[in-house]
Structure 1
Amino acid sequence: ARELPSALSRLGVPALLTSVLSLMIRYIDVLATEASRMRLARMSRGDSPRALHQGGAIAKSVGTLFLRSYERGERVYLAMVSRGYDGKVPPLINGAPGVSSRVWATAMLPVAAAVLVAASAWMWR
């Protein structure tokens, strides 16, 4: 999912659509958490999710979630503009910036050795 926006931009998909998709991928978990919190609040007030007469409460919750996500989007957009957002999402870089794969592999050698020693000690105990 992290490589999807850069792959779409390489395929020639318009930058606006790629930006919207990238932000949607990043904030879908936030919306799911917000919906879960709203459901928990309804349940703590005695809402029965299986009752048919709760349709109005569910519809109101969906509307509230839409308004909250819209307002959050406005706040995020204003924060991004204040930090220099120009309409293009920068590509996500795999790994730390400026670190070559050789340096990364050298740093991982002690970790791999420790895992190997621990695994062999566990197997021969």
Structure 2
Amino acid sequence: MIDLSDSPTLMYVLETRALGQPWLIGGYPGSSAVAVETLGLENCADLAKAWILIAPESPRHLDQASVMASFGGGQADYVVAATFETPIIDGYFPNAHRQFLLKPVRSAELAGQSCHEARRQRPAGQKWSTE
């Protein structure tokens, strides 16, 4: 699973392995670029099969479109499999918001090819502009 949300506990409940880092948090300068670079170290075959957890309403959300594009994915390549409501946590999350668990709909083979193509098109040593 790729966790682009703001609270990593769901991954542990689902007993899944995190790709990139256990928790790719946003809301800070360069945070989406860090997520792209970290996921760039992962195998395209694993990324092709990965489900994605997003929290677009969160104050700590990542630019999911840029992060997904870095491994050849796009919104049309996933469907919402489940929706979760995060709790209010004083001092951290003053408002509840939703998380969406996205299931890949492309074949793993096609998604893997898209990942390889996205990596070939990226100039060596160039950081993604994701902010």
Report if TM-score (shorter chain) is over 0.5: no
Higher helix residue share: 1
Q: TM-score, normalised by structure 1?
A: 0.29
Q: TM-score, normalised by structure 2?
A: 0.28
For the pair shown, the structure with the greater C-alpha radius of gyration is 1
Higher strand residue share: 2
Asked which structure has the greater RCO (Cα within 8 Å, sep 6+), the reply is: 1
